[in-house]
C-alpha cells in the first residue's frame, strides 16, 4: 500500500509498505478515505519529538471504511464508515473511565496493546498513522465512531482532532461570562478555539498571529479581533493596553514549540536565550494574562523540557491547564454544535491533495505557502 514515511528531520517520502494486519482480537483495519496534516505533524517532521523512527508513517487525523475486524470487536463491522479520534485508548483504565482518553494508562488486563497516538513516534506508542491507504486501529470498540449518515465527511475528519482540541482549549480556559480571551495562533486549532470561546460565554475574543491571511480568515470565521504581533514592538504591553491595563482573563496557547534555532527573548523584563523547541507563545501568554487568570495550553511541546517562566506564573497566581485533547469525550456534543451551525469545521480546509502529493503538501503546510490553513490528503479509492 502507499504510505508517507519519515526519513529524518524535514525529510519524508511516499513509500510502498506492507498492508497492516490484525495483531490483536480488539484491532480493526481501516481503509483510509481522508487524512489531514496537523500542526502536530509539523513538530514531528521537524524532529522535535523524541524517538521518531525512520520508516514510520504519520497521520493521527483520518476517516475510513472498516476493512476487517478482530474476533473480539463488537461495535464495528466491515463496511462501516468511521472517524477515528487521534487518541489510542483502552477504554477501561482509571483515566478512560473518566473520559480522559488522552491520558490512558491501559491497565486493561485483557490487552497486550498499549495506549498512544497514531503516527506520533515511539514516545506515544510507535503506532503507524493514517497518511496511508490502510491503518491498523487498536481498541476498535473504544475510539472509532460511526459517521452519522447526514454528516459531511470533511466535517467528520476534523472531529478527529482540531475541533475537539480547540473546544477543549476553550473549556480548559474556564471562561466566565463576559471574559476576554486571547488565543495565540491562528492555525486550525487556534481558529477552533476562538470560535469555541464564544460558546463558553466569552465577551471578547482576540487572536494573535503574524500571518495576515490566517488573521483575515479567523476575523471572519470567529467574528473576533485580531492582532499581528509583528506590528508591535512589545506584544505583551500591547495586549495589556487593549484590556484596560489588566491583561486578558484567559490566554490560550495554540502554537506549541518552535524549531527555529536560538534567539533572544525578553520576558518580564528579563532577557533569556531560548532553545530550539522553545516556547514564545506560552511566555507571552503567561506574561500578558491578568493576575489570577488562566492559561490553557494545547500547543504541543515535543521536547520534554522547555523554558517556561514559572516564577512569573506563581507571583501572578495563575492557573495553568494543559492536555492532549480527550477527543471522544466531546464528539456527541460537537456533532450537535456542527449540526446547529455553531461550528463549521470544513470551512478551514484550503487544500485537498492526493496522497501521492504528500511530500509537497508537508512543505507547503510547514512553510505556510499558498495561504494554506488546513490540508487534507485523499488516498486513491
Ligand atoms: P499550525 O502550525 O497550522 O498553526 C500554528 C500557528 O501559530 C501559525 O499560524 C503560526 O503562524 C502561529 N504562531 C507561531 N508563533 C506564534 C506566536 N509566538 N504567537 C502567536 N502565533 C504564533 O498548527 P495547528 O494545527 O493549528 O496546531 C497548533 C498547535 O496545537 C500545535 O502545537 C499542535 O501540535 C497542537 N495540537 C495539540 C493538540 C492537543 O491535543 N493538545 C491537538 C492538535 C494540535
Ligand atoms: Zn492533529
Backbone φ and ψ of 339, nearest 5°: -60, -35
Report whether 313 contacts 267 (CB < 8 A).
no
Mutual orientation of helices 162-172 and 188-199 as an angle, nearest 10°?
A: 50
Predicted ipTM of the assembly: 0.99
How far is residue 161's CA from residue 256's CA, in Å, rounded to a whole number? 15
β-pairing verdict for 134-137 and 319-322? unpaired
The residue whose CB lies within 8 Å of the most ligand 1 atoms, and thus the one to mutate among 104, 123, 184, 185, is 185
Grid cell for residue 257: 514549540
Kindly list the distances between the CA atom of residue 214 and the CA atoms of 207, 211, 284, in Å, as whole numbers in the listed order.
10, 6, 19
- CATH class, range 2-161+327-378: alpha beta
Q: DSSP letter for 211, please.
A: -
State the distance from the centre of ligand 2 to the C-alpha of 233, rounded, in angstroms: 32
**Kind of pairing between the strands at 11-16 and 2-8:** antiparallel
**pLDDT tens-digit profile, the chain (381 residues):** 999 999 999 999 999 999 999 999 999 999 999 999 999 999 999 988 889 999 999 999 999 999 999 999 999 999 999 999 999 999 999 999 999 999 998 865 555 567 899 999 988 889 999 999 999 999 999 999 999 999 999 999 999 999 999 999 999 999 999 999 999 999 999 999 999 999 999 999 999 999 999 999 999 999 999 999 999 999 999 999 999 999 999 999 999 988 765 455 665 666 665 555 578 899 999 999 999 999 999 999 887 777 788 999 999 999 999 999 999 999 999 999 999 999 999 999 999 999 999 999 999 999 999 999 999 999 998
For the chain, the structural domain boundaries read 2-161+327-378, 162-322
Tell the CATH topology of 162-322: Rossmann fold (3.40.50)
Residues lining ion ligand 2 (Cβ < 5 A) are 38, 40, 161
Alpha-carbon distance 175 to 170, whole Å? 7
- Kindly list the protein residues whose Cβ atom lies closer than 6 A to any atom of ligand 1: 38-40, 42-43, 161, 165, 184-190, 208-211, 214, 229, 254-256, 280-281, 298-300, 324-325
Atom nearest to 323 CA in ligand 1: 41
Task: Give me the residue label for grid cell 530550539.
Answer: 276
- How far apart CA 184 and CA 172 sit, in angstroms, is 15
In sequence order, what are the residues at sequence separation of 6 or more whose Cβ sits closer than 8 angstroms to the Cβ of residue 305?
Answer: none
Give nearest CA residue, ligand 1 atom 23.
39
Alpha helices in the chain (DSSP H): 39-45, 153-158, 162-172, 188-199, 212-221, 235-242, 280-288, 310-316, 327-339, 358-367
Amino acid at each position: 500500500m502507499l504510505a508517507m514515511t519519515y526519513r529524518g528531520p524535514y525529510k519524508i517520502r511516499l513509500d510502498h509498505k506492507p498492508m497492516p494486519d490484525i495483531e490483536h482480537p480488539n484491532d480493526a483495519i481501516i481503509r483510509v478515505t481522508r487524512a489531514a496534516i496537523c500542526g502536530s505533524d509539523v513538530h514531528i517532521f521537524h524532529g522535535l519529538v523524541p524517538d521518531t523512527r525512520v520508516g514510520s508513517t504519520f497521520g493521527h487525523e483520518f476517516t475510513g471504511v472498516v476493512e476487517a475486524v478482530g474476533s473480539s470487536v463488537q461495535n464495528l463491522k466491515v463496511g462501516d464508515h468511521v472517524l477515528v479520534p487521534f487518541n489510542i485508548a483502552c477504554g477501561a483504565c482509571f483515566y478512560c473511565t473518566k473520559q480522559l482518553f488522552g491520558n490512558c494508562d491501559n491497565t486493561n488486563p485483557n490487552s497486550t496493546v498499549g495506549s498512544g497516538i497514531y503516527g506520533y513516534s515511539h514516545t506515544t506508542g510507535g503506532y503507524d498513522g493514517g497518511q496511508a491507504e490502510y491503518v491498523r486501529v487498536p481498541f476498535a470498540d473504544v475510539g472509532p465512531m460511526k459517521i452519522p449518515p447526514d454528516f459531511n465527511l470533511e466535517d467528520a475528519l476534523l472531529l478527529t482532532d482540531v475541533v475537539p482540541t480547540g473546544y477543549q482549549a476553550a473549556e480548559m480556559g474556564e471562561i466566565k461570562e463576559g471574559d476576554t480571551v486571547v488565543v495565540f495562533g491562528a492555525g486550525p486549532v487556534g481558529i477552533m478555539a476562538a470560535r469555541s470561546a464564544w460558546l463558553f460565554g466569552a465577551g471578547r475574543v482576540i487572536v494573535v498571529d503574524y500571518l495576515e491571511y490566517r488573521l483575515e480568515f479567523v476575523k471572519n470565521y470567529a467574528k473576533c479581533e485580531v492582532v499581528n504581533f509583528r506590528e508591535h514592538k512589545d506584544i505583551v504591553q500591547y495586549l495589556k493596553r487593549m484590556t484596560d491595563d489588566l491583561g486578558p482573563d484567559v490566554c490560550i496557547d495554540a502554537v506549541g514549540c518552535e524549531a527555529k534555532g536560538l534567539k533572544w527573548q525578553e520576558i518580564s523584563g528579563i532577557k533569556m536565550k531560548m532553545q530550539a523547541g522553545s516556547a514564545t507563545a506560552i511566555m507571552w501568554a503567561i506574561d500578558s494574562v491578568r493576575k489570577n487568570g488562566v492559561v490553557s495550553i494545547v500547543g504541543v511541546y515535543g521536547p520534554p523540557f522547555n523554558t517556561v517562566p514559572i516564577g512569573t506564573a506563581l507571583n501572578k497566581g495563575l492557573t495553568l491547564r494543559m492536555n492532549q485533547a480527550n477527543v471522544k469525550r466531546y464528539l456527541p456534543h460537537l456533532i450537535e454544535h456542527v449540526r446547529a451551525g455553531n461550528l463549521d469545521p470544513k470551512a478551514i480546509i484550503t487544500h485537498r491533495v492526493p496522497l501521492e502529493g504528500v511530500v509537497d503538501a508537508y512543505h507547503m503546510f510547514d512553510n505556510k505557502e499558498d495561504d494554506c490553513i488546513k490540508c487534507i490528503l485523499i488516498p486513491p479509492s
